[in-house]
Amino acid sequence: MDKARFYREEIGKALEGALPAPSPQDPQGLVAEAMRYSLLCGGKRVRPVLTLAFCELCGGEPLGALPFACAVEMVHTYSLIHDDMPCMDDDAMRRGRPTNHRVYGEAMALLAGDGLLTMAFETALGFSGDPQAALDGARLLAQCAGAKGMVGGQCIDLQSDGGKMSVELLQAMDKGKTVALIHAACGMGCIAAGAQEGQLLAAGRYAHGLGMAFQLRDDILDVEGSAEKLGKETGMDAARSKQNYVSLLGLEEAKRLVERYTQEAVRALEGFPGDKGFLRDFALGLASREN
Ligand code: GRG
């Protein structure tokens, strides 16, 4: 079995274990059901795979980093649920099925996101290695997910809805919305392995390159991707008059930048002594992803 598939299967099992199906008698069961609906329904698992891979690259036992990997996927899933709600993007489809609020209603979707966000920190703090690493991992996740990271990026997005945007502001938005959580994913893998500061910095450079390329590819797929493969509607940025790299720079330049940022990620791996093949191929694969 290839490594990415092995990692994804282990992540799937660990997520299922962290959030088991509620019993029909459970009075709080509905929120657990709504959380499971979005968390266990697929998704590429890019962020948790990165956590396990960086742990391994830094000489740790990758499956020991599963609490961190699950935590970052829980934060990511909460952000998707909230982002899809009518008060934000009002999307109908996600991960190939109706969005959480279309199934459970707005109030329950809000709670499902809240439940996943808080469960993420409970899960990260359950890391069973060095207790200091558990704290450091949880702190990094909080910093990257919060108002100076992903929430801040979403704030720029909401404020600029429909308006003209500079490339600098777009970059600041994507550093928050997309790069920050990918940074947490890579950094938490290093922390789980007890890596040195220099490796954390190199992981941050990898995350920046991969995250920017990932967002550019997302913008490209919104224009020329297939809704069926993506599991969500396409053309949404244009329909909402939202600026992105393609609208500001054109398709060709956006594709050139995907290459440039991917190479930045690959170069950052030089800071690690171990076998870098998996993380190099992972970055190259995401640069040409179709979903
Ligand atoms: C609501 C606080 C808050 C933040 C929302 C994640 C997000 C921020 C918005 C979703 C829209 C978007 C384009 C975000 C950029 C990051 C991104 C490309 C998310 C989609 O991630 P994938 O492709 O999704 O990894 P899957 O479903 O495969 O996990």
Residue that is written with structure tokens 């968390």 in the block: 39
Ligand 1 pocket: which of 46, 73, 83, 217 to mutate (most atoms within 8 A of CB) = 83
The alpha carbon of 275 and the centre of ligand 1 are apart by a number of angstroms equal to 29
pLDDT reported for residue 82: 98
CB-ligand 1 contact for 178 (6 Å cutoff): yes
CB-ligand 1 contact for 43 (6 Å cutoff): yes
CB-ligand 1 contact for 218 (6 Å cutoff): yes
H or E segment and range at residue 222:
helix 197-224
Residue 135: count other Cβ atoms within 10 Å of its Cβ: 14
Ligand 1 pocket: which of 141, 178, 216, 232 to mutate (most atoms within 8 A of CB) = 178
Structure tokens that stand for 283 in this block: 């970055």
Residue of minimum CA distance from atom 26 in ligand 1? 43
Q: Kindly give the number of the ligand 1 atom that is closest to the alpha carbon of 178.
A: 16
| Contact call for residues 55 and 72 (beta carbons, < 8 A) | no
Q: Kindly give the number of the ligand 1 atom that is closest to the alpha carbon of 46.
A: 25
CB-ligand 1 contact for 83 (6 Å cutoff): yes
CB-ligand 1 contact for 99 (6 Å cutoff): no
- Sequence ranges of the domains in the chain: 3-287
Query: In this structure, what are the phi and psi dihedrals at residue 129, rounded to the nearest 5 degrees?
Result: -85, -145
CB-ligand 1 contact for 82 (6 Å cutoff): yes
The alpha carbon of 23 and the centre of ligand 1 are apart by a number of angstroms equal to 30
pLDDT reported for residue 1: 67
Residue of minimum CA distance from atom 2 in ligand 1? 151
- List the alpha helices (DSSP H) in the chain: 3-18, 29-39, 46-57, 66-83, 100-104, 106-124, 131-145, 150-159, 167-174, 180-192, 197-224, 227-230, 236-239, 245-249, 251-268, 277-287
Q: Kindly give the number of the ligand 1 atom that is closest to the alpha carbon of 95.
A: 27
Give the residue ranges of the chain where pLDDT is below 50: none
Amino acid at 245: Y
Q: How many residues does the chain have?
A: 291
From the list 196, 99, 83, 78, the residue with the least C-alpha distance to 141 is 78
* Residues in contact with 232: Cβ distance below 8 Å, sequence separation at least 6, in sequence order: 91, 93, 94, 95, 96
Amino acid at 183: H
From the list 146, 270, 137, 275, the residue with the least C-alpha distance to 209 is 270
CB-ligand 1 contact for 80 (6 Å cutoff): yes
From the list 226, 247, 232, 260, the residue with the least C-alpha distance to 162 is 247
CATH number of 3-287: 1.10.600.10
